[in-house]
Structure 1
Amino acid sequence: MTLADTQQQGPAELPPRHGRYAGSPAWQRRRAAVARFWRGYRSHRAGLVGLAALVVIALAAVAAPLLVGDDVRSVTAATGAPLAAPSLDYPLGTDQFGRSLLGLLVWGARVSLTVGLLAAALSVAIGTLVGVVAGHFGGALSTVVMRITDWFLVMPTLVLAIVLATVMSRSLWTVVLAIGVTSWPTTARLVRAQTTAVESRPYIERARALGGGHRHVMARHVLPNVLPLVLAQTTLGISTAILTEATLAFLGLGDPTVVSWGGMLQDAREAGAVSSGDWWYLAPPGIAVALVALSFTLCGRAVESVLNPRLGAGR
């Protein structure tokens, strides 16, 4: 082949990097793992029911501006009678300002789901970091870290969250931070136990013998093995975070400028819905909180059973 022929052909195409394209063995293994996980998840009817309920609620929350409009949150734009019972015009009745409770319930799903997801993600991130570090290094560092974790574990989470929400400015980010920094100890202890088990396996010793440092061992070997546990703990923690957010909002510690299910319950209490028997003001947000928490719990139990077959065998 002459130099002219080489110039006409142009530069040779480089083969794709291994593991970075859709047909690589790494991608095929990932797709196979996802397929196995979905097949196992589909065998849990309760998990499918919870997932279906969450999909419907999430779609309603995302499409809130199209379903109920933006004016439903405005007090000045309310057209209904205050504390009106359910009717054709207002299927769930109205609040003390004449706003549609159905519209407020749909808008409240946005705040409750967002706070629950972000707070659970923050809590699991802190717990995973603490657990991996304590389980990997061990020794005095692990002892000190675990004693701090035990202190947070025995302290009432709700009380700590109330204290943080009280001393900080009232906003959604304050609620997320208050829930996240007070509910991580359980995840930390679980991740530390799993990290300790992974660290005792032979391939960890081989990785260290080949020159793998702490960052390499934790990021490439330990963390991938604890991620299934982290995923299950996240789905279970979201329901707790949503309940805590509703409790803080009910106590008047949430953001008063946004509509949430806990805020609706607090408004109903201030309006005297309990003493006057206006059940339609109390029931919808309370049922919504319970339904979402139950749905996330069902999904979390199903994920936990799929990722840990020993749990599924015992049920």
Structure 2
Amino acid sequence: MTTAKTPQPPTATASAGSAATRSPRALARQRRRASAARFWAEYRKHRAGMFGLAALVLFALLALTAPLTVGSDVASVTGAPGRPLQSPSGQFPLGTDQFGRNLLGLVIWGARVSLLVGLLAAVLSVAIGAVIGITAGHFGGWYATVIMRVTDWFLVMPTLVLAIALATVLSRSLGTVILAIGVTTWPTTARLVRAQTLAVESRPYIERAKALGGGHWHIMSRHVLPNVMPLILAQTTLIISSAILAEATLAFLGLGDPTVVSWGGLLQDAREAGAVSSGDWWYLVPPGIAIALVALAFTLCGRAMEAVLNPRLGVAR
């Protein structure tokens, strides 16, 4: 005699499905999506931040599509399409350089190098500053004293002078420029991250995590880093603009990579060609405006992110 199985109530099935969907990973993903949606909703309220973001998207698209729009041979000095130092015309909207190359194509191609160097140098700088700031705030004691005195020394030293010294000693390449900028611009980030780490370490749940056996790595990676990450992201956007300006300065001084085209390199070529004394303004203005616009765009984005992530700043929208 077979016994009929009792059908399971719908409520039990619903609760089982609800428990399955409410796994820790699913809840974490849901919270991240909700947090990103709230961030974007607040960020859109900042007109300056939206202007900066639109400008960055435009420059990024120009840099990514440069091989298709201007071609990879735009930097070649052999077979240049125009006459040297030709003023702007229908064929060359921004004129030509001292070799007869199309300046519009050179400015678009130079965006690839300038943006790449700025991004990588900023990432290196923020990574060094974040590691030093978190470890100094977490461990404290003699380690924090020594590392903060080193940070103070880097703060009082002129950043550009240190970068020039490193770029002069090392070989002239993009890697040297990135290293020179990255290892000289981290102290501000280290100071900010250390202050935020000290504030996070004083919260009660950090004491509970330590009482439950959480080690140093667990405290720093699971509790401190997520809380200082918004500050790190905002600081990154601000440092990128400074890194782009520093790269342009090093290239203008002849310390960049001579084999690549960058905005600072174009300004240095214009100086060598005597564009200032001869009045060839089209050789100087386009790369200078491009540097100023990108630096301004990153600064506007950084300020808007600061206002969203820290509403107490009260930054005007």
Given the alignment of the two structures, is residue 18 of structure 1 paired with residue 20 of structure 2, yes or no?
Answer: no
Letter in 2 for 1:47: G
Letter in 1 for 2:139: F
For residues 173-188 of structure 1, the aligned pairs below 5 Å read 173-188=175-190
Residues 168-209 of structure 1 show CA distances to partners (whole Å, capped at 9, x for unaligned) of 000000000000000000000000000000000000000000
- Could you say what secondary structure the match of 2:109 adopts? helix
CA distance in 1, matches of 2:204, 2:187: 29
For residues 150-189 of structure 1, the aligned pairs below 5 Å read 150-189=152-191
Letter in 1 for 2:296: L
Aligned position for 1:11: none
- Could you say what secondary structure the match of 2:145 adopts? helix
For residues 61-76 of structure 1, the aligned pairs below 5 Å read 61-76=63-78
Letter in 2 for 1:260: S
Aligned position for 1:104: 106
CA distance in 2, matches of 1:279, 1:153: 37
Residues 97-124 of structure 1 show CA distances to partners (whole Å, capped at 9, x for unaligned) of 0000000000000000000000000000
Which of 136, 143, 150 is the matching residue for 2:138? 136
User: Quick check: 1:71–1:77 contact (8 Å CA) kept in 2?
Assistant: no
Which of 278, 282, 288 is the matching residue for 1:280? 282
Which of 265, 268, 272 is the matching residue for 1:270? 272
User: Quick check: 1:135–1:192 contact (8 Å CA) kept in 2?
Assistant: yes
For residues 36-51 of structure 1, the aligned pairs below 5 Å read 36-51=38-53
Aligned position for 1:311: 313
Aligned position for 1:57: 59
Q: CA deviation at 1:262?
A: 0.1
Aligned position for 2:202: 200
Q: CA deviation at 1:131?
A: 0.2
Q: CA deviation at 1:312?
A: 2.7
Q: CA deviation at 1:16?
A: 8.6
TM-score relative to the length of structure 2: 0.92
Q: CA deviation at 1:314?
A: 6.9
- Could you say what secondary structure the match of 2:214 adopts? coil
CA distance in 2, matches of 1:17, 1:81: 68
Q: Between Structure 1 and Structure 2, how many residues are aligned?
A: 298
Residues 282-315 of structure 1 show CA distances to partners (whole Å, capped at 9, x for unaligned) of 0000000000000000000000000001113677
CA distance in 1, matches of 2:57, 2:167: 30
What runs of 5+ residues in structure 2 fail to find an aligned partner?
1-19
CA distance in 2, matches of 1:289, 1:314: 25
Letter in 2 for 1:29: R
CA distance in 2, matches of 1:297, 1:112: 16
Given the alignment of the two structures, is residue 261 of structure 1 paired with residue 266 of structure 2, yes or no?
Answer: no
CA distance in 2, matches of 1:213, 1:71: 55
CA distance in 1, matches of 2:110, 2:206: 47
Letter in 2 for 1:85: S
- Could you say what secondary structure the match of 1:80 adopts? coil
Aligned position for 1:4: none
Q: CA deviation at 1:77?
A: 2.2
Which of 207, 211, 214 is the matching residue for 1:212? 214
User: Quick check: 1:306–1:312 contact (8 Å CA) kept in 2?
Assistant: no
Structure 2 CA distance for partners of 1:123 and 1:313, relative to 1, 3 Å: closer
Q: Kindly, what percent of the aligned residue pairs are identical?
A: 77
CA distance in 1, matches of 2:290, 2:279: 19
CA distance in 2, matches of 1:264, 1:19: 53
Q: CA deviation at 1:19?
A: 3.8
Given the alignment of the two structures, is residue 241 of structure 1 paired with residue 246 of structure 2, yes or no?
Answer: no
- Could you say what secondary structure the match of 2:67 adopts? helix
TM-score relative to the length of structure 1: 0.93
